[in-house]
Structures are given as structure tokens and as C-alpha cells.
Amino acid sequence: MTSTTEISSPQWRHWRLEREADGLAWLTIDRADSAVNALSAEVMTELAQVLDSLQSAPPTGLIIRSGKAAGFIAGADVEEFVGLDTPQQAHALVERGWQLFNRLASVPYPTLALIQGHCLGGGLELALACRYRLAVDVPGTSLALPEVMLGIFPGWGGMRRLPALIGPAAALDMMLTGRPADARKAAALGLVDARVPPRLSDTTARRHVLSGKPAHRARGIAAWMNHAPFKSLVAKRAQKQVEAKDPQGHYPAAPAIITLWSQYDGNALAAPQVIDRILTSDTARNLLRVFRLQERLKSCGKAREGISPVQHVHVVGAGTMGGDIAAWCALKGMTVTLQDQDAARIAPAIGRATALYARKLKDPYAARAAADRLVPDPAGDGVTRADLVIEAITEQVEAKQALYRAVESRMKPDAILATNTSSLSLATLRTGLTQPHRLIGIHFFNPVAQMPLVEVVQAGPDEQGIQARACAFVGQLGKLPLPVSDAPGFLVNAVLAPYMLAAMRQVDDGVSPETIDRAMTDFGMPMGPLELADTVGLDIALAAGQQLTQQAKPPRCLADRISRGDLGRKSGQGFYAWHDGKARKQQPATPPAGMAEKLIAPLIERTQQQVDKGVVADADLADAGVIFGTGFAPFTGGPLHYRNNKLHNTSTT
């Protein structure tokens, strides 16, 4: 960069403007008192003031970049959405961003967004208002319009500009799913003009913004689809897809996005009734609540001062859980040694890991590097070098204790010993250890690559901060750590057991599995309780039910299937016949009224009991754990929140 002169203003707390001698201007967003950039009202007001300054002395070009290592812009300030109580407030919030970004899009000088790291929601809408966009090709770069996941819509120009840029099919896919694009995909879509390596980002940005090239726009068929009669066809197809995924209409933001694009050219201000209906809805409030719960779990996974990141993980047990835990750790950059009785037992885990890396990383060099970090270790030599040893062997107390005795003396003095047990008492497993406080529960859920929650189990006081270190490790993995106390089933399995058993009692009463599962998917669950039981394994469901519900006699339908060897998906037959990993179902009858409420009642009751017992710190964490650990309908805000809302609504009617 050539010599610059900084323009300072005492009221600009969040922006820095610098001009070069040739007139090129660099505008850096660096939100004060925050680790990330978010577009709060104050940040937006200051941006308007910056544009005022540039209007009086236009630059030859303007490059907008971030001063945060965390990324470009994480979106709007979610806290300002939480406070929307009236249609007027919702309308004003949409208008603020719409008008400001329209102004940015219409400035007479070329503009460029230099994107490194996350560029989400309102951040991407700001970038779309620029003439050009460059994506810095680093692992954290991610562009998305995830508003639909919060129950809202991208109202600051994204619904108009994104379809014009990449075509409506690709744009609607991004807006209706919230799915992100990395630098490679963003360039392929035409979402950015190019992806650049970090070392060339500033030079390329300077050259590109002054190039005089026309702004990119969708071309050919993609462009035609933005106009009649094709536009209505695209909208109808998208509407059918949304209805197929959400037939009960629990999530109204997705159809609203289609309506706003197809009928109002993406301008929500032209449809104030849609603003009122969506932004002030219970669904939006509840999904914003879920977002905040997710952020709270993420905060549990942030490394505290004095906590060093885990670099080497040793996993004992190369079965489905152990092998997949090892694969995920290597995917996230850790060196992993994987131990089992012989190389033949480890080989299937290596095969699954190779497929995971190809699917997740795309780049063959990155996939190869991840595979190289996963080292078969039948002899267990990695124990002596590991920062964390994870045991994922059979659920037998004696076998686990024997393993701990064998590895404890070989571990580094400050290494953590962890178990992936889903049901055994940590206090019991610690018996016989020289340093019992070293053993922590790190309970992953199956499938490891898909399930976001990990329970971090502590028995007694957190001596020497072991639970905090384990939570930080889970955060390294990009998972959500939930601190829980040692108790049967911890949180997630404890609440699932009575729920699945209640469903099985309905089967005993003559209701078909399809009808029961239909009642719960209509309620908003991602999977019905009987399909879930088949997926978990009916033998495991039986053991959990006996341990967690104190019921001496299991449901007849469960006992009969187990006696026949029908254990669910793994045996090919359970409540359903399974083929290629999918359940074959008959057409369900219409569930009777009140069935869903009857089935979730024991789940809600057990969730409250776990809070009362101190298994989780409070009701919010319990709701977070059940949502992210079981898929409990997010639009409800969680089981306890759902119950409290029902009680409140009942008392006010």
C-alpha cells in the first residue's frame, strides 16, 4: 500500500477510513468492545456518516475490509432482533438496512468487499451492495444468508441482489437452507469475483476495484429465471420443496422469502404485512432464543486463560464411535493415534475416515493431510505422547477399569483421561485410579460427524479444571459442549428413555409405529421415537430403559423383537424393515388428537427432573442440550420453554 492519510472522527468508534495518495480509500470495520463485527444500529449509523464524508470527496475506489481476526461481518446484531415488540420496530429495522445498503450500491465510485473469514447475513448483504467481492481463500472463509435459521429473512437487499448475481435457483437454495459457501464454492457460483490467497489479497483488491470491469451478473438461463414467466415456475418449485420439508408450516420464514422474492422483487418494505407476521412471530422469537442458547454452549467451549489446545489425541477402541471420534479429531487438525487389538480392527475406521475427508474437505491435498494425521496404533504407543486419551471400548465397567490401570501410569502428567461412556457411572469408573480426578466423561453422539452436542461429564468438583479443559477440547472440534454432572443417562439419554418407552407402550396398545412416528414428526421432531429406537439399537434401548426408568418389565413390543433378534437398523429389522440405511414404512393413519403431547410429557418431566437434580446448571442449558442432542423441535424454544409458554398461554385465556 502506498502512503496513506487516515481520516479520523471522534464519533467513529467502529470504522477506520484511510486514503492513499492516488485517491483509493480503505474502510475497515472493527467494532469496538467486541470480538466480532456485527451490524448494530450504532455501526450502521456510523457507516452512513462515512458515506457522507466520501460523498463530499469521492475516492477513486473504496475497499471495505475487516479489522477482526475472527472474520468479515457476522451479520446484524441479534440482540436488536430480540427486542422487537411491535410491527413499527420491525419495519424500522428492515428500513434501516435496506436504505443504507441501497445508498452504498448507488455510490458513483467502484466498491469492493474484501472478505476473509465469516461473512454472514447482513454482512453478506453489505458485500452484495458492493460492485465487486473477493474471497480470501482460507479455511474460515464462509459466505451465507442464514436468516431463515433464525426464523427471519434477509431484508437488507439480499433477496433482490443475490438472485440477480447468481440466479434464483442457487440464491433460493442459499436463502432457504442457510447453507454456507466457502471461498472455492463462492467463486464457482459467481458470488465473488475471485478467490485469492492471503498474501495477494490487498494487491488483488486494489487492482480489481480500479479495473473498470463491469459488475458480475447472472447470465443465460440463470438470468432469465429472474423474469416472467420463469420466475413463477421457480417460485412454485421452491414452494413445493419447502412444503415437503415442513408440511405443518412450523417455519414460516422460508415461504415468506419465496413470496418476497417472487412477488415483491425482494423488497420486504413493499409487504409490511409479511414483516409484521414474520419478525414478531413466536417462531422467530424461539429460534432467536435457540441461537442464543447455541452461543452459550459455544462459550463453554472457548479456551480459558492457561488452557493449551489439544494437539495429540489417542483413542482406544476403533469401533463405530471410537473410530469416528478419531476421524473427526484428525479432520480438525489434531494428530490422532487410534488403538485396537490389531490392524484389521482399525482398518474399517480408516476407510470411513477417508470417505469423511473426501466429502468434507473437497480438496484432495487437504483430505490427504487429514488422513495422514490419523495413525493406526495397535500397540498403543501414542498414549505416552497424547494430551488427551479417549476410551471408547465396550460398555463394561471391569474392562474399562482394566484399561485405565494399563494407561494411567504411561500418560503425560498433565494429560486428560476421558471415557465416551453413555450410561456408566463416572464415579464407579474412577475406582482404582491413582488420580481419579483425571477421568472425565466426553460423551459424543452417533453419528459423530452430524451430531453437534457433546456432553462433558464431571463427577464431583472440577478439580484442576479438567472439565473446563475438556469443554475447550470439544470447542476445538467445532462441537457444542454441555457440562453435566455424573448421573444415570446424564441429560440426553435420560430424557430420551421415557419418551421412547412411552411410544412403545402405544405400540403395545395397538397403534402402528408409523402413526406414532408421524405424530412426532408432525409436531416438529426430525425423527419419530420408534425410528430413533431402531437407529440406536433396540438392545441398547432396552438396557437404557431398564437403567433409567426403573421399569422391571419392558414393553411387550420391545421384548418380542429382541427375542427374535430384531435389533433395528443394524440387524435390518426392528419396528421397521431397513434397506440401505432407510426405514421402509407403511402409510400411517392420522394420529389421534393429543398423541404428540402425551408422548413428549415424560420427556419434559424428565428434563425438569435433571435440572432439579443439578445434572445441568439451569433450565436454559437443559433446553439447549435437548434441542442439540435430540433434535427437539427448535421452533418451540426447547422442552421447558415450550411447557412454560403453554402454561402461560393457558393462564391468560
What's the pLDDT tens digit per position in 237-256?
999 999 999 999 999 999 99
Q: What is the mean pLDDT of residues 31-38?
A: 94
For residue 167, give the CATH number of its domain: 3.90.226.10
- Segment 541-545 shows an average pLDDT of 80
Contact between residue 495 and residue 613 where contact means Cβ atoms under 8 Å apart: no
| Residue from 299, 544, 306, 528 nearest 421 by CA | 544
* Of 581, 590, 579, nearest in space to 514 by CA: 590
Instruction: Report residue 266: phi and psi, to 5°.
Output: 80, 5
Q: Give the pLDDT confidence of 556-600 residue by residue, as tens digits.
A: 999 999 999 999 998 999 999 999 889 999 999 899 999 999 999
| In-domain check, residue 304 | no
157, 104, 154: which is closest to 132 by C-alpha? 104
Q: What is the mean pLDDT of residues 423-446?
A: 93
Are 362 and 509 part of one and the same domain?
no
Find all residues with CB under 8 Å of 502, minimum gap 6, and list them: 529, 598, 599, 601, 602
Is 497 in contact with 548 (CB distance < 8 Å)? Answer: yes
- What integer pLDDT is reported at residue 549 of this predicted model? 67
- Provide the pLDDT for residue 552: 64
Domain endpoint, select from 448, 468, 488: 488
Among 68-77, 106-115, 346-355, 642-651, where is mean pLDDT lowest? Answer: 642-651
**pLDDT band, very low/low/confident/very high, at 646 (cuts 50, 70, 90):** confident
- φ/ψ of 30, rounded to 5, equals -145, 80
Residue 543: per-residue pLDDT: 78
C-alpha to C-alpha distances, 592 to 506, 515, 516, 588, nearest whole angstrom: 12, 9, 9, 11
Q: Do residue 479 and residue 501 come from a single domain?
A: no
Helix (H, G, I), strand (E, B) or coil at 504: helix
pLDDT tier at 651, thresholds 50, 70, 90: low
Q: What does DSSP assign to residue 110?
A: -
pTM of the full structure:
0.91
Look up residue 83 and give its three cell numbers. Answer: 427486542
pLDDT at 436: 92
> Looking at the structure, do residues 569 and 462 belong to the same domain, yes or no?
no
Task: Kindly write down the DSSP assignment for every residue of 471-482, as one continuous string.
Answer: HHHHHHTT-EEE
- 3-state SS record for 125-176: HHHHCCCEEEEECCCCCEEECCHHHHCCCCCCCHHHHHHHHHCHHHHHHHHH
Residue 270 lies in a domain: yes
Count of Cβ atoms closer than 10 Å to residue 601 Cβ: 15
Q: Where are the alpha helices (DSSP H) in 194-342?
A: 201-209, 220-224, 230-245, 253-264, 272-279, 282-300, 320-331
User: Can you give the pLDDT at residue 652?
Assistant: 62
Give φ, ψ of 137 to 5 degrees: -85, 80
Average pLDDT of the chain, as a whole number = 93
Task: State whether 207 and 135 are in the same domain.
Answer: yes
Domain range for 39 is 15-280
Give the distance from CA 256 to its chain's centroid: 23
**Does a structural domain hold residue 405?**
yes
Q: What is the pLDDT of residue 85?
A: 82
Question: How far is Cα 511 from Cα 588, in angstroms, rounded to an integer?
Answer: 10
Is 34:13 a contact under the CB 8 Å cutoff?
A: no
DSSP assignment letter at 647? H
Question: Can you list the pairs that 211-215 forms with residues at least 24 positions away whose Cβ atoms lie under 8 Å?
Answer: 212/110, 213/132, 215/131, 215/132
Based on the domain organization, do 480 and 518 belong to the same domain? no
Closest C-alpha to 284, from 492, 78, 65: 78
Looking up residue 596, the CATH number of its domain turns out to be 1.10.1040.50
| Residues present in the chain in total | 653
Beta strand pairing call for 335-339 and 111-115 = unpaired
220 and 78 within one domain: yes
Cis peptide bond N-terminal to 447, omega within 30: yes
Q: Which of 190, 186, 48 is nearest to 117 (CA)?
A: 186
- Is the pLDDT score of 653 beyond 60? no
Q: Is residue 422 part of a domain?
A: yes
Residue 307 · residue 465 · CB < 8 Å: yes
The 3-state DSSP class for residue 39 equals strand
pLDDT digits (tens, 9 = 90+) for 413-434: 999 999 999 888 999 999 989 9
Q: How many CB atoms lie within 10 A of CB 82?
A: 14
Residue 628 lies in a domain: no
Residues 465 and 477 in one domain: yes
Is 648 contained in some domain? no
Together in a domain, 200 and 273? yes
In this structure, are residues 302 and 472 in contact, taking their beta carbons and an 8 Å threshold?
yes
C-alpha to C-alpha distance for 376 and 339, rounded to whole angstroms = 6
Examine residue 634 and state whether it is found in any structural domain, yes or no.
Answer: no
Note whether residue 260 is domain-resident.
Answer: yes
The three-state secondary structure class of 211 is coil
Active-site positions read 422, 443, 455, 493
Task: Categorize the per-residue pLDDT at 550 as very low, low, confident or very high, splitting at 50, 70 and 90.
Answer: low
pLDDT, greater one: 549 or 356: 356
pLDDT for residue 430: 93
pLDDT at position 164: 97
Are 345 and 232 in the same domain? no
3-class state of residue 493 by DSSP: helix
Cα dist from 386 to 55, 314, 636, whole Å: 59, 6, 42
How open is the CA angle 308-309-314, to the nearest 5 degrees?
A: 120
CA distance 97 to 221: 30
Helical segments of 268-311, H only: 272-279, 282-300
Residues 378 and 507 in one domain: no
Shared-domain flag, residues 513 and 469: no
In a 3-state reduction of DSSP, which class is residue 370?
A: helix
Task: Verify that 352 and 210 share a domain, yes or no.
Answer: no
Model confidence at 7: pLDDT above 70: no
- Residue 4 — pLDDT band, cuts 50, 70, 90? low
The pLDDT confidence band at residue 648, using thresholds 50, 70 and 90, is: low
Dihedral pair phi/psi, residue 520, rounded to 5°:
-80, -35
Whether 297 has a pLDDT exceeding 60, the answer reads yes
Q: What is the CATH number of the domain that holds 469?
A: 3.40.50.720
pLDDT, tens only, 147-184:
999 999 999 999 999 999 999 999 999 999 999 999 99
Number of domains, the chain: 3
**How would residue 1 be classed by pLDDT, with cut points 50, 70 and 90?**
very low
- Give yes or no for a contact between 286 and 469, defined as CB atoms under 8 angstroms apart: no
Tell me if 189 sits within 8 A of 169, measured CB to CB.
no
Please say which residue of 488, 516, 532 terminates a domain: 488
C-alpha grid cell, residue 394: 465396550
**CA-CA distance, 215 to 226, in Å (whole number)?**
17
Last residue of a domain, one of 456, 488, 520: 488
Closest listed residue to residue 262, CA positions, set 235, 224, 240: 235
